[in-house]
Amino acid sequence: MNCRLPIALTLLLASVLAWAGEQAEFSVVTEAGNRLHISSDLSPLTINRIHSWQLRLTDADGAPVTGAQFEVLGGMPEHDHGLPTRPEVTAELEPGVYLLQGVRFHMPGRWLLEFGMSLGEDIDGAAIEIEL
């Protein structure tokens, strides 16, 4: 977490921050102007349950962005620790729709999640905040 912090902070500053609350669906415009729509299979979001998210990545015109490679980092800034798990995108379920597995939160409070995306030669980023 710590060695990745500068990259994560840059990513955060460059991206549009979304405030998600406990809702299980949220949407954010990425640094490169794409849209990342996130829906959780656990609704409402609660602590201490491992679950999956679907990430729908579209461009500004709403067309699916395929073949993206994701890196998902996160943690609780107030507590200076990262996520309790290491979530991974394990499949592209349909064009532009990615399965993120292994998401779990283990404390109530403010969580920050950062999505790094490699799109061929390009990189993109987005961040969301969740209050649990």
Partner 1 sequence: MNKRISAIFLLIAAAVLVWLLAPPPLPERWTESETALISSLSLSALPPLPPDSSNSAADDERAAALGHRLFFDPRLSANGAVSCASCHRPELSFTDGLPIAVGTGPGRRHTPGLIGTAYSPWFYWDGRRDSQWAQALTPLETHFEQGAGRTAIVRLLASDPDYKTMYEEIFGSLPDPARLPESASPLGDEPGRRNWRMLDPDLRFKISSAFANAGKSLAAYQRKLLPGRSRFDDYADAAAIPQGDTHHRPGDTLSRDEIAGLDLFIGAAQCVNCHNGPLFTNHDFHNTGILPVLGQLPSVGRFDGVRLARDDPFNCLGEFSDAAPGQCAELRFARFDNELTGAHRTPGLRNVTLTAPYMHTGQMGTLAEVLQHYDEAPTSMLGHNEAKPLGLSSRQLRQLEAFLHSLEAAPAAAAEWLRPPQH
Residues that bind partner 1 (CB under 8 A): 1-2, 47-48, 50, 79-88, 101-102, 106-109
Minimum Å gap between C-beta 105 and partner 1 is 9
Q: Nearer Cβ to partner 1, position 9 or 50?
A: 50
DSSP one-letter code for 83 = -
Q: Nearer Cβ to partner 1, position 2 or 121?
A: 2
Q: Nearer Cβ to partner 1, position 88 or 129?
A: 88
Q: Nearer Cβ to partner 1, position 66 or 90?
A: 90
Minimum Å gap between C-beta 94 and partner 1 is 19
Q: Are 104 and 50 in contact (CB under 8 A)?
A: yes
Query: Can you tell me the distance from the alpha carbon of 125 to that of 71, in angstroms, rounded to the nearest whole number?
Result: 9
Helix (H, G, I), strand (E, B) or coil at 9: helix
Q: Are 100 and 70 in contact (CB under 8 A)?
A: yes
Minimum Å gap between C-beta 53 and partner 1 is 12
Helix (H, G, I), strand (E, B) or coil at 12: helix
Minimum Å gap between C-beta 60 and partner 1 is 32
- Please name which of 70, 75, 72 lies closest in space to residue 112, comparing C-alpha atoms: 75
